[in-house]
Structure 1
Amino acid sequence: MIDNSDAARQLAEITGHAFADDPFNSWVFDTRMAMETVFQAEARHIYLPRGRTEIIDNKAAMMWLQPGTSKDLSLFAGMTLLGRLLRHGGTRTVRRALQAARALRDAFPDEPVTYLYTIAVRPTAQGEGLGGHLMRRFVADCHAAGSAGWLESSNPGNHGFYRSFGFETRDVITIAPGAPPMELMCRPATPSGSPV
């Protein structure tokens, strides 16, 4: 059993490795260290204590929240993260990260949703079925809650995978000039007790 700080570090490292070529994250973060700093802080302060996480053999990981769970950092954790982000990414990274956070918060649906923050498989482990395993776990949680599923994706290569699990594009937004488009994807709610 690993403790929260080790789990947060592992979640961040797997996710940072998997997202190294993600269009949106590459635009926001100038370095992988800056990206992993955000993933680690959010894993430690949001997803491990309030949400759900899964790690498979240090190859794949996922972080998500059930309906009604806050995805906001405390003021102290947020200020600490900004300081670390400034150190690892510089002022442009901080500015872009704040722009992205504001835009995604504004685009978040009003209805209760099960929110998939990250699903990540290391490039060396892709093709082993780990992403499908994680996504089935997420869909089962949506089903148990009777809620819609929600995610944001800027990587067109992943959209077919999400669609195969019932996600549909609800909107496409652009955070700022030069930023890659972000697809906002929703999986309609399946009432509890009916087939997934």
Structure 2
Amino acid sequence: MAIRRLTQASPAEITALAATLAEAFENYPWTCWTVDSERHEARLAAIQRLYLEHVGLPYGEVWTDDRLECAAVLVQPGPIELDPGLQKKLSELHGEAGHRLQTRLPQPPPAAWTLATIGVAPDIQGNGLGSALLEAMLQHADAYGRRIALETSSDRNLAFYRRRSFVVWAVTEMPDGGPMVWSMIREPVSGAAA
């Protein structure tokens, strides 16, 4: 399995990666709370497709394997400008549950890159692909001295990230029966090779 960083992606790759992420996050606490349940997976795929195309590639890095069975997005520090039409489309895709996205989470340090998403196709989860993907990304980040922040709403993920030197710096209980969200940070490991 070859892990690679996409500097650009074809529409077919973006569509396939969006479908992989939609499957991976279909039952994830955060997406279940912020995306309407009606046509949930189709909504997720459309959201992921727009996010990959309009945020991941232009404002960060998109990583995947040679079979497009996993995907991750690492977003650079700084503001992201989204076209008002795109914001409207994303709001429509989230549906009634989308208002919950306005709930504020603690902001990571300003210089931190954000691991916005990482997912593996459900039928091959547990085979080490997610670990290989994250480790390739982190090795690259370490080579450039990047601090990485992330949020997870699954307590199962805590050990996965802790094994890779992430530490919890904030815990937020979301309102309206929402999930617990753990904010994590990882300092660059010195001496890592590119």
State whether residues 63 and 137 of structure 2, in contact with CA within 8 Å, keep that contact through their aligned partners in structure 1. no
How many angstroms apart in 2 are the aligned matches of 1:168 and 1:175? 20
Tell me the equivalent position of 1:20. Answer: 26
How many angstroms apart in 1 are the aligned matches of 2:78 and 2:12? 23
User: Does the C-alpha gap of structure 1 residues 12 and 71 become closer, same or farther in structure 2, counting only changes over 3 Å?
Assistant: farther
Tell me the equivalent position of 2:72. Answer: 62
User: Does the C-alpha gap of structure 1 residues 177 and 94 become closer, same or farther in structure 2, counting only changes over 3 Å?
Assistant: closer
How many angstroms apart in 2 are the aligned matches of 1:110 and 1:185? 11
Q: Deviations over 1:78-105 (max 9, x none)?
A: 123223x1xxx53x22322x325xx24x
Q: How far has the Cα of 1:109 moved from its partner?
A: 1.6
**Deviating 4+ runs (over 6 angstroms):** none
State whether residues 4 and 48 of structure 1, in contact with CA within 8 Å, keep that contact through their aligned partners in structure 2. no
Secondary structure of the structure 2 residue equivalent to 1:184: strand
1:149 matched to 2:158: no
1:138 matched to 2:137: yes
Tell me the equivalent position of 2:13. Answer: 7
User: Does the C-alpha gap of structure 1 residues 79 and 52 become closer, same or farther in structure 2, counting only changes over 3 Å?
Assistant: same
How many angstroms apart in 2 are the aligned matches of 1:40 and 1:48? 11
How many angstroms apart in 2 are the aligned matches of 1:163 and 1:17? 24
State whether residues 28 and 154 of structure 2, in contact with CA within 8 Å, keep that contact through their aligned partners in structure 1. yes
1:95 matched to 2:105: no
User: Does the C-alpha gap of structure 1 residues 149 and 76 become closer, same or farther in structure 2, counting only changes over 3 Å?
Assistant: same
State whether residues 143 and 192 of structure 2, in contact with CA within 8 Å, keep that contact through their aligned partners in structure 1. no
RMSD of the TM alignment (CA)?
2.2
Tell me the equivalent position of 1:167. Answer: 166
Percent sequence identity over matched residues? 26
Tell me the TM-score normalized by structure 1: 0.83
How many angstroms apart in 2 are the aligned matches of 1:7 and 1:69? 26
Write 1 or 2 for the structure with the bigger share of helix: 1
Q: How far has the Cα of 1:69 moved from its partner?
A: 4.7
How many angstroms apart in 1 are the aligned matches of 2:85 and 2:115? 24
Q: Deviations over 1:106-164 (max 9, x none)?
A: x2223311211111011211122111111112212321221211110011111111111
Mapping of residues 40-79 of structure 1, within 5 Å: 40-56=49-65, 57-66=67-76, 68-79=77-88
Report how many aligned residue pairs link the two structures: 183
Tell me which moved more, 48-57 or 148-157. 48-57
How many angstroms apart in 2 are the aligned matches of 1:54 and 1:182? 24
Tell me the TM-score normalized by structure 2: 0.84
Corresponding letter in the other structure for 2:23: H
